[in-house]
């Protein structure tokens, strides 16, 4: 099948980044969120990212309005009915994902592929409540999606070969780099990353070093472009909590359990960059660079 129109469900940091990737690659892109203000905020973030790309010489100025013209938004499932593939980037909660896909299944044509950006929940389980288990596939983008190229592609037990091949081709058409993984908790990246990030949080809890020093050590010695606590501020403490709960619930790996400090930070409203304060303080809540 030929994919021309892409739907992205969820206007958080990840969903907005995925929308940038799709629209920048030339695809008509429909953003879905239940709240109109979330759609407006996402469009503003997309345009701000593209403007920064122009300023840095990474995008021709005349391309910016063309990309923005490809981006539309909707607060209804019906508004996604014309999509050839829909990528969900909503909460890491199986019931939420099932409800979303059930609603979309009722209005989307048979050929529409459902893709999940989940990093911890079984693709097979998500597919089981999608209404089209053979046309559901895992597509886990790296954060921030508009800067990172890797996408973990995961077929569920019921995913057809045709669906996986079409999703893989679409991924390459977006100029991303797909790798195939099995339907296992955390796939490749989060199998390592969730426990690793939790270890960094526990260093802060134990008073071993300040967040800035931990990030500096990791970036300097290991060559990472971003420290673990900087990354966590971009992910958001609320999201990290959900990731930990999902991963720990599936694996019982002690290092995947949510550190108490994360829950305290959520209670204090220190969610990360989106709230202006997490492990680091931020002058603004913009989550995108270029």
Reply yes or no on whether 69 is catalytic.
no
Reply yes or no on whether 140 is catalytic.
yes
Contacts of residue 259, defined as CB under 8 A and 6 or more positions apart, other chains included, come to: 198, 201, 202, 205, 244
Q: Are 103 and 63 in contact (CB under 8 A)?
A: no
Reply yes or no on whether 198 is catalytic.
no
Give the pairing type, strands 136-141 and 150-155: antiparallel
List, as one string, the DSSP characters of 73-122: EESSSGGGTT-SEEEE---S-HHHHHHHHHHHHTTS-TTPEEEE--SSS-
Reply yes or no on whether 252 is catalytic.
no
The burial of 7, by beta-carbon neighbours within 10 Å (0-12 exposed, 13-18 middle, 19 or more buried), is given as buried
Tell me which of 130, 190, 198, 275 is the catalytic residue: 190
Tell me which of 88, 92, 116, 140 is the catalytic residue: 140
Q: Which of 173, 208, 144 is nearest to 84 (CA)?
A: 173
Token look-up 């044509």 returns 109
Q: Which of 237, 287, 245, 232 is nearest to 266 (CA)?
A: 237
Tell me which of 88, 92, 152, 230 is the catalytic residue: 152
b vs e for 132-162, b when ≥16 Cβ sit within 10 Å of the residue's Cβ? bbebbbbbbbbbbbbbeeebbbbbbebbbee
Tell me which of 119, 122, 154, 197 is the catalytic residue: 119
Catalytic residues: 119, 140, 152, 190
């Amino acid at each position: 099948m030929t994919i021309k129109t892409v739907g992205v469900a969820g206007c958080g940091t990840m969903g907005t980044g995925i929308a940038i990737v799709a629209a920048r690659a030339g695809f008509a892109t429909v953003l879905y969120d239940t709240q109109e203000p979330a759609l407006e905020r996402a469009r503003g973030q997309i345009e701000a990212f593209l403007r920064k790309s122009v300023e840095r010489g990474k995008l021709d100025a005349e391309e910016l309005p063309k990309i923005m013209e490809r981006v539309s938004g909707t607060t209804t499932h019906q508004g996604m009915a014309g999509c050839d593939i829909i990528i969900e980037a909503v909460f890491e909660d199986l019931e939420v994902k099932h409800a979303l896909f059930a609603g979309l299944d009722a209005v989307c044509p048979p050929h529409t592929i459902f893709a999940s950006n989940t990093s911890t929940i079984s693709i097979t389980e998500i597919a089981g409540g999608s209404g089209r288990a053979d046309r559901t596939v895992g597509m886990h983008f790296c954060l921030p999606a508009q800067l990172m190229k890797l996408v973990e592609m995961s077929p569920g037990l019921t995913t057809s070969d045709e669906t996986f091949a079409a999703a893989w081709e679409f991924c390459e058409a977006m100029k991303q780099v797909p790798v195939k993984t099995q339907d296992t908790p955390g796939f490749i990246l989060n199998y390592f990353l969730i426990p690793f990030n939790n270890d960094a949080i526990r260093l802060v809890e134990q008073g071993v070093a300040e967040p800035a020093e931990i990030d500096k050590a990791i970036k300097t010695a290991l060559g990472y472009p971003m420290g673990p606590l900087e990354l966590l501020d971009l992910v958001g403490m609320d999201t990290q909590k959900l990731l930990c709960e999902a991963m720990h619930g599936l694996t019982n790996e002690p290092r995947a359990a949510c550190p108490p400090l994360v829950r305290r930070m959520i209670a204090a409203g220190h969610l990360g960059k989106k709230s202006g304060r997490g492990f680091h303080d931020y002058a603004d809540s913009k989550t995108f660079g270029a």
